[in-house]
Structure 1
Amino acid sequence: MATTDNVKEMRDNLAGELKSVIKDAENLLDETHDHAETKYNQARTKLKAALETAKSELPKATKKAVAKTKHAAHVTDEYVGENPWKAVSVAAAIGLLAGLAIGRSK
């Protein structure tokens, strides 16, 4: 049979173990918070840098795209002006192919 001293000793051991588990859990939470915060800050820094790069490169890319589009339009205009019947033939062929494709898809 358990004596009063044994019960008290078991209770004290259990209380000590419980305090130890609580302390370990608090330490684990603190360590994971610091780790998560570090990873979050690193990811945030990378994202911020990527956004800054995108903001600075977007006007350059837009300017290049507009220049290439204008050049393509100019070349196309010259070609159509020099070869009107070829342009009409190509447009008719594209229209015929598009009509066939649409007709078959229904």
Structure 2
Amino acid sequence: MDHTQQNGKDEIAGSQAASGAARDKLMDELKNAIGEAETWLKDAASQESIVPSETRARFDDTLRTARIDLRKLEDSIIGRSRDAAKATDAYVHENPWKAVSLGAAVGIIVGMLISRK
């Protein structure tokens, strides 16, 4: 395996790991945002001193933050997907027969699995 092939595989693995880490981070942040929103709503219901408009503003801020984080994750995933697609494209162009062989092998396996059912 030459250096270019290894770089392509490393880029794909790195993209997958980074996407997983970004997804986990987003989930943690969304859970925190939801938890904060629930706490604020409970506080608003139990305390008369909190003005509903204040609670609404805090809730809106939390949701806005969650939306921004979601957009960042989406942009990150799209960027990493493009990088992975470029690395795959480069690998296929450098190794067309390996790519054809792999595609044929996957096709045979899928065909065998379908015919068994």
Q: TM-score, normalised by structure 2?
A: 0.48
RMSD over aligned CA atoms reads 2.8
Q: CA deviation at 1:37?
A: 2.7
* Structure-2 change in CA distance of 1:45 and 1:97 (3 Å): farther
Q: Which runs of 5+ in 1 are unaligned?
A: 1-34
Q: 1:70 aligns with which of 46, 61, 82?
A: 82
Q: Which amino acid aligns with 1:94?
A: V
Aligned length: 69
Q: CA deviation at 1:51?
A: 2.8
Deviation above 4 Å: which 4+ runs of structure 1?
44-50
* Structure-2 change in CA distance of 1:46 and 1:92 (3 Å): farther
Structure scoring higher RCO (CA < 8 A, sep ≥ 6) equals 2
Q: CA deviation at 1:100?
A: 1.2
**Identity %, equivalent residues:** 41
Is 1:51 aligned with 2:63? yes
The separation in 1 between residues aligned to 2:85 and 2:115, in whole angstroms, is 31
* Alignment partner, residue 107 of structure 2: 95
* Alignment partner, residue 72 of structure 2: 60
* Alignment partner, residue 45 of structure 2: 37
Q: Which runs of 5+ in 2 are unaligned?
A: 1-42
Q: CA deviation at 1:67?
A: 0.8
* Structure-2 change in CA distance of 1:98 and 1:47 (3 Å): farther
The separation in 2 between residues aligned to 1:77 and 1:56, in whole angstroms, is 31
Q: Which amino acid aligns with 1:64?
A: S
